[in-house]
């Protein structure tokens, strides 16, 4: 049976995020990820701590954080602290960081592969309880110690580039594939599994996208396709007919927020990334993808919708039939 999870983007007050997580736990969802989008959202660790205090079963972690906005040592400490607070329910979700997070902070990704790989290494070594010296391209630690980490804390990597996907297969417990162009899924999964095979590991894969069963759902997704399309691989942009001028229009419009940029995203650029239709049609589409690709987990992004409880209820009906 597939694991079901939610990924909350904390655009609304933290109390509302807590209510969503409590409802998800009641519906039987297994894991709660929380977006880390810098200034665009509430602080990821404050939100996760509030959810930890209000739930008893959900596994909790950032979905995802990055190596740039916080020192990776501080990320290791935050996850270990969350794990202590939640009595062993924490995990780390890590990726290179996207434009929505980094652009407003004036941060440019530099040697992203090394930064993510070294962050994974730093966290693992710190959680072991040993004194750590690390002199990497991105991460430096000097006799650093953390005496309250859990060595087997799960690390999930999210990415799209071939090298990053291989790194996830080789070094992480699992890889989260988020809003991937559906026609390209097999290629992405092959890269993850190649990395895993080279390292003698199993490739666990979490598939994440929106489930769209109404016109309202579709409109809530549209703004969140803006930064994803800007950061999409060139091969995907080419397949959709997104040229450099269109990318620049969306990127420039994002200075006014994702809602302002959404007007530059037509329907045909959204449909290839989501599960859409009636509840029955969505169950069929998602079930086919699960059977074909062997996903272990389905992760549902939850945006600031008019009625998140009703949305979770609808998607729970889709998932219960898988």
Reported as a single tens digit per residue, the pLDDT across 215-258 is 888 898 999 999 999 989 899 999 999 999 999 999 999 999 99
* Cα 113 to Cα 120: distance, rounded to the nearest angstrom: 11
Domains of the chain and any CATH numbers? 3-216+274-320 (3.20.20.30), 217-273 (no CATH)
Q: Global pTM?
A: 0.93
- Provide φ and ψ at 8, rounded to 5°: -90, 130
Better-predicted residue by pLDDT, 203 or 318: 318
306 pLDDT more than 80? no
Interval 156-176 mean pLDDT: 96
Partners of 208 in beta bridges: 178, 299
130 pLDDT more than 70? yes
Strands 140-144 and 132-135, sheet pairing? antiparallel
Interval 134-161 mean pLDDT: 97
The proportion of the chain whose per-residue pLDDT surpasses 90, expressed as a percent, equals 88
Partners of 297 in beta bridges: 3, 206
CA atoms within 13 A on the CB side of 251: 14
Provide the mean pLDDT of the chain.
Answer: 95
pLDDT of residue 216: 87
Question: What end-to-end distance do the CA atoms of the chain give, in Å?
Answer: 8
Partners of 84 in beta bridges: none
What's the pLDDT tens digit per position in 102-117?
989 999 888 999 999 9
What are the E-state strand segments in the chain?
Answer: 3-8, 31-34, 59-62, 92-94, 132-135, 140-144, 155-158, 174-178, 204-208, 211-212, 275-276, 297-302
pLDDT tier at 305 (50, 70, 90 boundaries)? low
* Cα 49 to Cα 14: distance, rounded to the nearest angstrom: 10
pLDDT of residue 110: 84
Interval 302-309 mean pLDDT: 81
pLDDT of residue 300: 97
Closest CA to 33 of 102, 79, 80: 79
pLDDT tier at 99 (50, 70, 90 boundaries)? confident
What's the pLDDT tens digit per position in 171-209?
999 999 999 999 999 999 999 999 999 999 988 999 999
Distance of CA 94 to the CA centre of its chain: 8
Confirm if 258 and 272 have CB atoms less than 8 A apart.
Answer: no
Confirm if 131 and 145 have CB atoms less than 8 A apart.
Answer: yes
| Alpha-carbon separation of residue 124 from 73, 77, 117 (angstroms) | 10, 11, 11
1 pLDDT more than 80? no
Closest CA to 172 of 194, 210, 207, 204: 204
What's the pLDDT tens digit per position in 30-65?
999 999 999 999 999 999 999 999 999 999 999 999
Closest CA to 186 of 205, 201, 200: 205
299 pLDDT more than 90? yes
Confirm if 37 and 68 have CB atoms less than 8 A apart.
Answer: no
Determine the longest span between alpha carbons in the chain, in angstroms. 56
134 pLDDT more than 90? yes
Strands 92-94 and 59-62, sheet pairing? unpaired
């Amino acid at each position: 049976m597939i694991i079901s999870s939610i990924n909350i983007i904390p655009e609304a007050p933290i109390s509302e995020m807590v209510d969503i997580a409590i409802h998800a736990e009641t519906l039987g969802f297994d894991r709660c990820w929380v977006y880390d989008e810098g200034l665009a959202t509430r602080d990821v660790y404050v939100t996760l701590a509030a959810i930890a205090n209000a739930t008893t079963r959900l596994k909790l972690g950032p979905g995802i954080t990055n190596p740039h906005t916080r020192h990776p040592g501080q990320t290791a400490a935050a996850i270990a602290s969350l794990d202590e607070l939640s009595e062993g329910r924490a995990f780390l979700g890590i990726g290179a960081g996207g434009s929505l997070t980094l652009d407003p902070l004036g941060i440019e990704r530099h040697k992203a592969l090394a930064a993510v790989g070294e962050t994974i290494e730093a966290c693992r070594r710190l959680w072991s309880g040993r004194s750590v010296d690390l002199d990497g391209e991105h991460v430096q630690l000097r006799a650093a110690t953390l005496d309250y980490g859990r060595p087997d804390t799960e690390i999930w990597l999210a990415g799209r580039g071939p090298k990053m996907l291989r790194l996830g297969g080789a070094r992480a417990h699992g890889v989260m594939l988020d809003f991937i162009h559906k026609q390209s899924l097999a290629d992405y999964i092959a890269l993850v599994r190649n990395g895993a095979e080279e390292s003698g590991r199993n490739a666990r894969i979490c598939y994440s996208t929106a489930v769209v069963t109404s016109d309202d759902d579709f409109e809530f997704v549209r703004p969140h396709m803006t930064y994803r399309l800007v950061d999409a691989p060139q091969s995907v942009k080419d397949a959709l007919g997104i040229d450099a001028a269109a990318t620049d229009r969306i990127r420039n419009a994002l200075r006014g927020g994702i809602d302002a940029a959404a007007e530059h995203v037509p329907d045909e650029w959204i449909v290839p990334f989501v599960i859409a239709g009636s509840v029955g049609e969505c169950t069929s589409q998602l079930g086919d993808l699960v059977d074909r690709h062997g996903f272990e987990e389905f992760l549902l992004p939850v945006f600031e919708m008019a009625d998140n409880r009703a949305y979770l209820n609808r998607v729970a009906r889709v998932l219960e039939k898988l």
